[in-house]
Amino acid sequence: MRTSSQHGRWAQKEPAHERSSESDPAQRRGRSLRTCGNSGRTSAPERHPSPVVRTFFDEPTFTATHIVHDPATKAAAIVDSVMDFDEAAGRTSFESADRIIDYVKAEGLTVEWLLETHAHADHLSAAPYLQQKLGGALAIGEDIRSVQEVFGKIFNEGTEFARDGSQFDRLFADGDKFSLGGIPAIALHVPGHTPADMAYVIGDAAFIGDTLFMPDYGTARADFPGGDAHRLFRSIHRLLELPDETRLFLCHDYKAPNRDEFAWETTVRAERSSNVHVHEGVDEDAFVAMRTARDATLDMPRLILPSVQVNMRGGHLPEPESNGTRYLKLPLNLL
C-alpha cells in the first residue's frame, strides 16, 4: 500500500528551540561525522569495509528488508523485517520471515542484530519471531520511548504497557558505535518522519529507514505524531554528508512515474545530485513547504493501527485476554 494519511492535524509540533541547528544534537553530530570520515567532499573518501547486502521486498507493504553481513565473519544483521498480516481476517503469519530464515541458514550467517529503523506505521515487524529462530539483539532508537508515550495514550494502554523501551535489547543513542563482525558501525538519530528514526551506517552501507527514498521518488512523509518536516530536512542533509560512494539502502519503494521496477538501493552521490525533493540547491523552507503540502494530500496508511500497536511493543502482539485470544484495538475518530 502507499503510505499516506491525512493526519497532519494531530502531528505534534516541536518546541521552536528544537529547530535551532545549534541546539540540535543531530546537527552537531553531523559536523563531527563529516570531519572523522570523509574530511571534505573533494578529497578521497576513507575506505570503508563493504558488507554484503541481500534485500527481500514485501510488495503488499512496499517494504524492503535488508540482511547485511560481514563476509569475513558471517556476522549478520536483519534490518526492518515484515510479519505477514491479513487484516480482514485478523491473521498473522510468517512466510516472508521464513524466507529470510532460509537465506540466513543457506549462507551460514550468524544473526547478531535485529535492527529497526523506527516504529513503522505500515507493516508489522517480524523481529521477535526472527529472534526466536535465529538469535540476535533487537535494537531501535532510544526515542522509541516518546513514541510509546504518544501511542500508549492513543490506545489507552494501562500500566502493563511499559513506555521505557524495555521491549528492546538495545536502545541506540545518536552516535553510538557498534560492530557487525569485523565491520565498524554507527547509529545516527535522523528524526523527522517520526521522532525516533535511526539510520545505521555499517561499513560503506547505510540503512536509512524512512528519510530519503529513491532519487526519482523523493522523501518520506513527516506528518505522523511527532513528525516534523524541518527535522526531516536536517536529518536528510546529515545523511547527504556521508561519503559520496556510500550505498544507501531504503526502507520502502513505491516505484515512480516512468519506472516499472521496484528499487531500494542508491548512493549519496545520486541523492545529492538528483533527488526530486532535496537535490542540491533546495533549501529548508522550500522543502518544508513542499513536504507539508504533499503530506496534506496523503491517505492514512492501511495498517497504521495494527502496525503501531505491535511495533511499539517491539513487534510483540498484545497479551491475550481472559479467553486466551489476543486483540488489537481500533480507536474511533482519533486519527
Type of residue found at 319:
E
Task: Tell me how many residues contact Fe ion (CB under 5 A).
Answer: 2
Cell numbers at 179, concatenated = 560492530
Instruction: Give the per-residue contact string, 195-224, with Fe ion (x = CB under 5 A; - = no).
Output: ---------------x--------------
Q: Which residues of 228-252 are buried (b: 16+ CB within 10 A; e: fewer)?
A: bbbbbbbbbbbbbbbbeebbbbbbb
Cell 502496525 belongs to which residue?
307
Q: In the chain, where does DSSP find H-type helix?
A: 25-36, 95-107, 127-134, 144-154, 229-239, 268-274, 284-295, 304-311
Whether the CB-CB separation of 123 and 305 falls below 8 Å is answered with no
Binding region for Fe ion (CB under 5 A) out of 36-44, 112-120, 142-150, 264-272 = 112-120
Rg (Cα) of the chain, in Å, rounded? 19
CB of 109 or CB of 126, closer to Fe ion: 126
CB of 113 or CB of 224, closer to Fe ion: 224
Closest CB to Fe ion belongs to which residue? 210
Please, what is the minimum distance in Å from the beta carbon of residue 273 to Fe ion?
25
Please, what is the minimum distance in Å from the beta carbon of residue 193 to Fe ion?
6
Please, what is the minimum distance in Å from the beta carbon of residue 256 to Fe ion?
18
Phi and psi at 304, nearest 5°, equal: -60, -45
Instruction: Give the per-residue contact string, 120-139, with Fe ion (x = CB under 5 A; - = no).
Output: x-------------------
CB of 120 or CB of 231, closer to Fe ion: 120
Please, what is the minimum distance in Å from the beta carbon of residue 219 to Fe ion?
12
CB of 57 or CB of 103, closer to Fe ion: 57
User: Cα angle at 15 between 12 and 19, to 5 degrees?
Assistant: 105
Please, what is the minimum distance in Å from the beta carbon of residue 301 to Fe ion?
8
- Residues near Fe ion (CB under 5 A) are 120, 210
